[in-house]
Amino acid sequence: MSKMVVIGGAGGFIGGALTARLATTLPDEWTIRAVDKKPVPEWYQQPKRAERLCLDLSDPAACAKACEGADEVYNLACDMGGMGFIERFRVDCMRSVLINTHMLEAAYRAGAQRYFYSSSACAYNIDLQQDPNSRALKESDAYPANAERGYGWEKLFSEIMCQEYWLERQFETHVARFHNVYGPHGTWDGGREKAPAAICRKVLAAKHTKAGAIPVWGDGTQNRSYMFIDDCITGIIQIMHCDELIAKPINLGSSELISVDQLITLAEEIAEIGPLERVYDTTKPRGVAGRNSDNTLIKSILDWEPSTPFQVGLRLTYNWIEEQYLAKVRGDAYVR
C-alpha cells in the first residue's frame, strides 16, 4: 500500500536535509509532500521526488491541506534563526506555536500514524546555563520551567501539546530537543545564521578582503555543543520510529563542547589564515554562557548519539559556505 510522509518546513535547513534524506531512503511506494511558506525557488534543497507546496502552516486550513492523506508528519516549520534573531524577534518566535498547534490537530484529524516535533535546547531552564562550564543538560532539567524568553517558551509549550495529544487522544507523537544544528545548505548570512555559519562567513570575508580582524559577539567564552546536520537527520528518523520515545522529549545533540574562541581558531585553521584580531562586542546578543547535551538517555535507548567531530563538520560547512560567498561576490545565483 502507498503511504505518505509530510514535512513541514521543508524549505528550511533541517527540513530540507530531512526531505533530501527521505527522498533517497524511503521505498518507492511512499509519497513525500514537502511544505514551506517560502516560494519554492527560495528553498535550500528541492529533491525532485517530493511534491512541493507553498503554504503558511500558521493557518489551520493550510495545515489541513498539508496533512491530507498523511501517514507520518514531521513538523520542522517555525520562525527562528540565530541568537541575534531570537532575542530581537520574540513575538515572531512565539507565534510559531500556531504552527505546531494547527499541525498537530490536522495530522490527528487526517489519521496520521505518528508525528514528530522539533523542539530546542532553548526550552531548558536558563538558570542552569549561566556559567561557560555548566554541566550538561539532561531532559529533566527543563523543569522547573524557566525557558529562554520567546523561542524557548514556545518550544516548551509545544512539547506539552504533543504530550497531551498522546495522553488524551492516543495520537503518537515524538519530540527531540535540538542542540545547535549546523552544516552545509543552511543559512550563512542575512541575520538568521547561527554561530558556526556566522564565524565561517566572517573568517572567509577577512581572508578574501585581507582584513586583519573580525567582530565577535560576546567575549568569546560562551560554550556550546554543535550537532552536524547528518547526525541530526539520522537522529530524527530513529526517534520518530522508537516506541520507547513516544511523547518523551529527548536531547538530540553532540556532547562535544566548543567555545566561541575555539570555533574561531578552528575556522582560521581551515581557512589557513590568522590568527585574526578578535574585536569582542559585549553589547551584542550572546545567549546563555554555557549549554551542552547530556546524551545518557539517547545512548541508553537508541545505542547511538551524534558523533561527527566538530572539526570535521566545520570543514565541510566552511567549504560549502565559501562556494556561496564567492558566488555572491561574483553576482552568481545561489549554488546548491
Q: How far apart are CA 208 and CA 153, in angstroms?
A: 40
Task: Return the pLDDT at 35.
Answer: 98
Q: pLDDT at residue 79 above 90?
A: no
Q: How far apart are CA 174 and CA 166, in angstroms?
A: 9
H or E element at residue 227: strand 227-228
Supply the DSSP symbol for 120: E
Task: Return the pLDDT at 71.
Answer: 98
Q: pLDDT at residue 190 above 90?
A: no
Supply the DSSP symbol for 174: E
Backbone angles phi and psi of 258, in degrees to 5: -135, 130
Q: Residue-wise over 221-239: b if at least 16 C-beta within 10 A, else e?
A: ebbbbbbbbbbbbbbbbbb
Q: pLDDT at residue 194 above 70?
A: yes
Query: For residue range 120-152, what is the model confidence (pLDDT) as tens digits?
Result: 999 999 999 999 888 899 999 999 999 988 889
Task: Return the pLDDT at 82.
Answer: 66
Query: Catalytic amino acids?
Result: 151
Instruction: Work out the average pLDDT over 108-118.
Output: 98
Query: Which DSSP string corresponds to 32-88?
Result: EEEEESS-GGG-S---TTSEEEE--TTSHHHHHHHHTT-SEEEE------SHHHHHH
Backbone angles phi and psi of 141, in degrees to 5: -75, 0
Q: How far apart are CA 275 and CA 301, in angstroms?
A: 43
Q: How confident is the model at residue 289 (pLDDT cuts 50, 70, 90)?
A: confident
Cα distances (Å, whole numbers) of residue 98 to 59, 135, 282:
8, 33, 34
Task: Return the pLDDT at 288.
Answer: 87
CA torsion sign, 23 to 106 to 118 to 58?
A: positive
Query: For residue range 213-247, what is the model confidence (pLDDT) as tens digits?
Result: 999 999 999 999 999 999 999 999 999 999 999 99
Which amino acid does the sequence have at 69?
G
Task: Return the pLDDT at 162.
Answer: 98
Q: pLDDT at residue 108 above 80?
A: yes
Supply the DSSP symbol for 332: P
Q: Give me the sheet containing 30-36, strands edge to edge.
A: 51-54, 30-36, 3-8, 72-75, 114-120, 172-178, 250-252
Q: Which three cell numbers stand for residue 334?
A: 545561489
Among left, alpha and beta (phi > 0; psi -120 to 50; other), residue 274 is left
CB–CB of 278/214 below 8 Å? yes
* CA angle centred on 307, ends 201 and 158, rounded to 5°: 80
Neighbours of 204 (CB within 10 A): 23
Query: For residue range 243-268, what is the model confidence (pLDDT) as tens digits?
Result: 999 999 999 999 999 999 999 999 99
Within 210-308, residue ranges assigned H as helices are 229-240, 260-271, 296-302
Specify which residues 73 forms β-bridges with.
6, 115
> Minimal CA–CA distance to 222: which of 274, 278, 271, 263?
263
Q: Which three cell numbers stand for residue 320?
A: 560549502
Task: Return the pLDDT at 1.
Answer: 65
Q: Would strands 223-225 and 257-259 be described as parallel, antiparallel, or unpaired?
A: antiparallel
Q: pLDDT at residue 187 above 80?
A: yes
Ordered by where they begin, the domains of the chain are 3-181+229-252 (3.40.50.720), 183-224+256-293+309-330 (3.90.25.10)
Question: How does the average pLDDT of the chain come out, rounded?
Answer: 93
Query: For residue range 20-73, what is the model confidence (pLDDT) as tens digits?
Result: 999 999 999 999 999 999 999 999 898 889 999 999 999 999 999 999 999 999
Task: Return the pLDDT at 12.
Answer: 94
Cis peptide before 275 (omega within 30 of 0): yes
Instruction: Work out the average pLDDT over 271-298.
Output: 92
